[in-house]
Copies of this chain bind each other. A is one copy, B any other.
């Protein structure tokens, strides 16, 4: 995308998506497709490790899934099992070394891992291991898990894994590849989603159900919080526990923005949850207007819900350039400000002279909202009522989302009225926390983590932050440097 991406897309970023397949012909191709469907969870890098039971094959690089993989390197990835990863990363720590899956030859044989989440005590474990002589290659928190397992005095891999994972704090939905098995594990809080599916006689693990849909796999169930699933040729799926207690803390932002609308996440249809957000918003913020429009595409579901609940007609007030992708080059400093326009163009014939309700899914820094309100106004809208289908974001996430510094979180700095003025809308409303949680059906409101809206985290965080690891940097030159 843009060098300065915030100017066209002001969203929080997920850090990863994971996928695994076991016991299927052309495993790496299925894995490629799974990652393709999970591309929205990470656009900075992608990797697959496959196994033909004796050799591991590795392809990892910076870029989109369709840039990293090609028929030649997919053919190189032999075998009937594979795990894959898509990665989002802030610029600072970007580095080919840090593209997952990680892999090594360990005391339990070859082992690879793909991880979605963030380990909050990884740095202290890392420091201890290094003192003991462990060699570290990356600055990824997940690398400590490989060391812990390899150095474990337990004699079985399962035991080594249980012991290691019980000592790790934070969020992890992980997929491991061993020479003869696929292993999936999810932290006891259940921060990040992870689902299990079947494809013929084989098995599939993925961050979201949309990845199962694409390859024609059937959805079996969620991997439970605190569960370790081991899949082998001989015994199929076997389930174990991470020996540790905690409350549940599903990330509600998966419903707000991260997950794809066509996925089922934490048991609920993402689209229907978002539509319900819109309906609740219509009750919380009734506005007299001529039309309801969304900021496409992430605001579509909620806008439709708002229109349905309010009776105000749903309209297409902006269209999206379907060719805008990561590769867009902003050609020159002086032709700036086209940031918003390159992606979204308002339709004057729809907006002229109208009182408009604009639904957006979230508002992080406020950078693009201002430009969008201005564009809609220039297209002739008489009144602009901006409604956000989630609460104000005031606090950082420590569990796998890359939140900007509090200084840049507009709702941590300004009152709602100040934000309204800043973006230039005639009115501004946010969905309430209670309203948001009321929209979810399968789980109880208290089973969700709302840390980024409230500062109340389900776990005390000792880690200094994402980059504390990088004190002793080794930087590997990559495509994007």
**What's the number of copies of this chain in the assembled complex?**
4
> Roughly how many angstroms separate A136 CA and B67 CA in the complex, as a whole number?
28
Q: Which of B106, B137, B150, B473 contacts A104 (CB 8 A)?
A: B137
Judge whether A329 is part of the interface by a CB distance below 8 angstroms.
yes
Q: Which residues of B contact A262 (CB under 8 A)?
A: 318-319, 345-347
Residue tally, chain A, CB below 8 Å to B: 101
Interface string of A389-420 (1 = CB under 8 A from B): 00000000000000000000000000000000
| Chain A 28-70 interface residues, beta-carbon cutoff 8 Å to B | 29-30, 32-33, 36-37, 39-40, 54-60, 64-67, 69-70
Give the distance in Å from the alpha carbon of A331 to the alpha carbon of B32 in the complex: 8
Tell which of B151, B260, B474 touches A110, judged by Cβ atoms closer than 8 Å.
Answer: B474
A388 within 8 A of B: no
The A interface is mostly helix, strand or loop, or mixed, namely mixed
- Kindly provide the distance from the CB of A264 to the nearest chain B CB, expressed in whole angstroms: 7
Q: A116: CB under 8 A from chain B?
A: no
Whether B477 and A73, one on each chain, are in contact in the complex, defined by CB atoms closer than 8 angstroms, is yes
Closest to A97 in B: B58
Which of A207-215, A232-240, A358-366, A458-466 faces chain B?
Answer: A207-215
Closest to A32 in B: B331
Interface stretch among A125-133, A189-197, A223-231, A447-455? A125-133
Residue A74 at the B interface, CB < 8 A?
yes
Taking the complex as formed, is A316 at the interface, i.e. its CB lies under 8 A from any CB of chain B? yes
Contact B338 A316 (CB under 8 A): no
- Do residues B71 and A329 form an inter-chain contact, with CB atoms below 8 A? yes
Asked if A91 lies at the interface with its beta carbon under 8 angstroms from chain B, I say no
Stretch of A247-255, A296-304, A429-437 contacting B (4+ beta carbons < 8 Å): A296-304
Within 8 A of B (CB), among A283-308: 297, 300-301, 304, 308
With A and B bound together, what is the CA distance between A261 and B322 in angstroms?
12
Instruction: Check A76 for interface membership: any CB of B closer than 8 A.
Output: yes
Q: Cβ of A12: which chain B residues have Cβ within 8 Å of it?
A: none
Q: CB-CB < 8 A to A260: which residues of B?
A: 319, 345
> Does A109 touch B at the CB level, under 8 Å?
yes
Could you tell me if B350 and A105 are in contact, using CB atoms closer than 8 angstroms? no
* Selected contact of A269 from candidates B64, B345, B347, CB within 8 Å: B347
Complex contact B338–A103 (CB within 8 A) = no
CB atoms of B474 and A103 under 8 A apart: yes
Q: Does A321 belong to the interface (CB within 8 Å)? A: yes
> Which residues from B are CB-within-8-Å of A328?
36, 66
Contacting B at CB under 8 A, from A342-363, are 342, 345-350
Indicate if the CB atoms of B76 and A477 lie closer than 8 Å. Answer: yes
Which residue among A32, A133, A332 has the maximum number of chain B CB atoms within 10 Å of its CB? Answer: A133
Q: Return 29 A-B CB contacts under 8 Å, by A number.
A: A26-B331, A26-B335, A33-B342, A36-B323, A36-B342, A66-B328, A67-B327, A70-B329, A72-B481, A74-B329, A76-B477, A103-B137, A104-B135, A105-B136, A105-B472, A106-B130, A107-B130, A110-B472, A133-B151, A134-B135, A134-B150, A135-B150, A213-B345, A261-B347, A262-B319, A271-B347, A271-B350, A322-B322, A325-B325
Other than A215-B335, A314-B314, give 4 A-B pairs with Cβ distance below 8 A: A56-B473, A64-B323, A133-B150, A272-B349
